[in-house]
Amino acid sequence: MTGHTPPFAAFEWMIAWRYLRARRADGGVSVMTVISFLGIMLAVFALIATLSVRSGFRAEFVDTILGANAHVTVFSSVHVDEAGRTSRVIEDYEDMAERLAAVRGVTRVAPLIRGQVMASAQGRNSGVEVFGISHENLRTIPRVADPESSIGDINRFTEGIALGSGVARELNVTLGDSVRVISPDGARTAFGTSPRISAYEVVYIFTAGRYDIDRTRIYMPFDEAQIYFNRDGVADEMEVMVANPDQIDAMRTELLRAGGERAMLWTWRDSAGSFLRALDVEDNVMFVILSILVLIAAMNIISGLIMLVKNKGRDIGILRTMGLSEGSVLRVFFICGASVGVLGTIAGVVLGCLFAIYIDPIFSFVNYMAGGGVWDPSIRGIYALPAELRFEDVLKAVALSLTLSFVVTIFPARRAARMNPVEALRYE
């Protein structure tokens, strides 16, 4: 009859459950069970929390790049103008914009004037980068037209300038204040080039969510920027947005053809590629390290099961003499170890998901307890610790934990199954 016992029968679960509830007087098995459970739970929690923060950081980083910067910038190679001076300006920028807009997948093309200047107000100075852009095109930049926070009216952009919140904070200005923009490359006279100084009203202040953008960027109306930077009738570059930024490399050939013979490209992957590759390496290393942590936690299951097999040797001998098969004994102890792994994994998943969902209040509490300054946006580029809970990350953590828990359980379970009942009962 024992040869026809179905796998994982009810009596096997009953015996395994009695062993899991073993009292401390039976050798401390219950303590080892709790330790194994806590180890698996904390390891899975750490794995999911780390993966969610990693995913959130990458998503936030890419989103701020794509939401406030060109997906691809088209500019001209160096050429010599009629006066014999080298230049990179684009003279036929309107025609180029039409050709680029006709490329499949391109959603917007905006001519830009770009220059680095000194901004001054309230006795304070700050180096900034000015982007000359039309009002219509400014409204299509997601992180500027629809930022995390803003004050002012973007529809008044043609009447003044738009500042990043970091620039406004550095200069101590707000809406309606005047900011002087100082460029060393100003008007050319018989005595040389004199600095150009112009004052503009602040009509819009935005927070794009990326520190280096908010701290350095000023938007100026395109026509005014042409006058200010001596770019009459020309543009410095073309800002191109596409429907699928991940496929930008496949569009290079068509964009270069549309840009003309002197066109050159600089994509968002070119500007952020090294950082993204560094994130990929860090992701792989962190996953391996945390996988080792899960393995170490799973090894506690082996310790607990070895103690359980040793303490239950008499019971194993009695059960074997009553007709219990080796397979049944193996399954009983496999259930003991696997149950700890499954329950610990479930608890770890719950804790990890709650951490990712409520990371903002958790981080605020940690920052409060540490007295503030835990997160420096000037170093990390974004203002808060992000987390993105992804199903594939949770699935990887669960698969890893359960696989390791099941594998390490097999070895002590096989030892119990192969125990000789005569030897087990010899001294009883």
| HEC assignment per residue over the chain | CHHHCCCCCHHHHHHHHHHHCCCHHHCCHHHHHHHHHHHHHHHHHHHHHHHHHHHHHHHHHHHHHHHHCCCEEEEECCEECCCCCEECCECCHHHHHHHHHCCCCEEEEEEEEEEEEEEEECCEEEEEEEEEECHHHHCCCHHHHCCCEEEECHHHHHHCEEEEHHHHHHHCCCCCCEEEEEEEEEEEECCEEEEEEEEEEEEEEEECCEHHHHHHEEEEEHHHHHHHCCCCCCECEEEEEECCHHHHHHHHHHHHHHHCCCEEEEEHHHHHHHHHHHHHHHHHHHHHHHHHHHHHHHHHHHHHHHHHHHHCHHHHHHHHHCCCCHHHHHHHHHHHHHHHHHHHHHHHHHHHHHHHHCHHHHHHHHHHHCCCCCCCHHHHCECCCCCCCCHHHHHHHHHHHHHHHHHHHHHHHHHHHCCCHHHHHCCC
Confidence class for position 400, pLDDT limits 50, 70, 90: very high
Question: Per mean pLDDT, which range of 7-21, 75-89, 213-227, 400-414 is the poorest?
Answer: 7-21
pLDDT tens for residues 307-340? 776 666 666 666 666 666 667 777 777 888 888 8
Contact between residue 270 and residue 131 where contact means Cβ atoms under 8 Å apart: no
Q: What is the pLDDT of residue 328?
A: 73
Between CA 339 and CA 364 the distance in angstroms is 36
Place of tokens 């600089």: 266
Better pLDDT: 13 or 207: 207
Give whichever of 229-243, 298-312, 404-418 has the largest mean pLDDT. Answer: 229-243
Mean pLDDT within 117-132: 92
- Which pLDDT value is given to residue 133? 95
| Confidence at residue 199, expressed as pLDDT on a 0 to 100 scale | 93
Query: How far is it, in rounded angstroms, from Cα 290 to Cα 43?
Result: 7
Which residues make Cβ contacts (< 8 Å) with residue 316, sequence separation at least 6?
A: 309, 329, 416, 419, 421, 424
- Quote the percentage of the chain above a pLDDT of 90: 37
Q: What's the mean pLDDT when you consider all of the chain?
A: 83
Does 304 have pLDDT greater than 70? yes
Q: Which of 308-312, 360-364, 365-369 has the lowest mean pLDDT?
A: 308-312
pLDDT at residue 87 in the model: 77
Distance CA 180, CA 121 (A): 6
Read off the pLDDT of each residue in 245-251 and give the average, rounded to a whole number. Answer: 88
What's the confidence (pLDDT) of residue 359? 87
Q: How far apart are the first and last CA of the chain?
A: 27
Higher pLDDT, 124 or 210: 124
Per residue in 4-40, pLDDT tens?
566 766 777 777 777 666 654 444 456 777 888 898 9
pLDDT greater than 60 at residue 234: yes
User: Looking at the predicted structure, is the pLDDT value of residue 363 above 60?
Assistant: yes
**Greater model confidence, 164 or 79:** 164
Confidence at residue 73, expressed as pLDDT on a 0 to 100 scale: 93
Question: What's the confidence (pLDDT) of residue 307?
Answer: 73
The mean per-residue pLDDT over the stretch 235-257 comes to: 91
pLDDT for residue 191 is more than 70: no
Distance between CA atoms of residues 49 and 31, nearest Å: 27
Residue 223 has pLDDT above 90, yes or no: yes
Higher per-residue confidence, 424 vs 386: 386
Residue 425 pLDDT > 60: no
d(CA 423, CA 314): 9
User: What would the mean pLDDT of 330-353 be, rounded to a whole number?
Assistant: 87
237-241, 250-254, 334-338, 375-379: lowest mean pLDDT where?
A: 375-379
Among 251, 241, 265, 210, residue whose Cα is nearest residue 140: 241
CA dihedral 114, 118, 122, 124 (to 10 degrees): 130
Find the mean pLDDT for residues 77-87: 71
pLDDT tens string 128-176:
999 999 999 999 998 898 887 889 999 999 999 999 999 999 999 999 9
For the record, the structure tokens of 360 come out as: 């903002």
Residues 6+ positions from 363 with CB-CB distance below 8 Å: 374, 375, 384, 385
- Residue 28's pLDDT is 47
| Contact status, residue 314 vs residue 428, Cβ threshold 8 Å | yes
**pLDDT of amino acid 235:** 93
Question: 26 or 119: which carries more pLDDT confidence?
Answer: 119
Determine the pLDDT at residue 374.
63
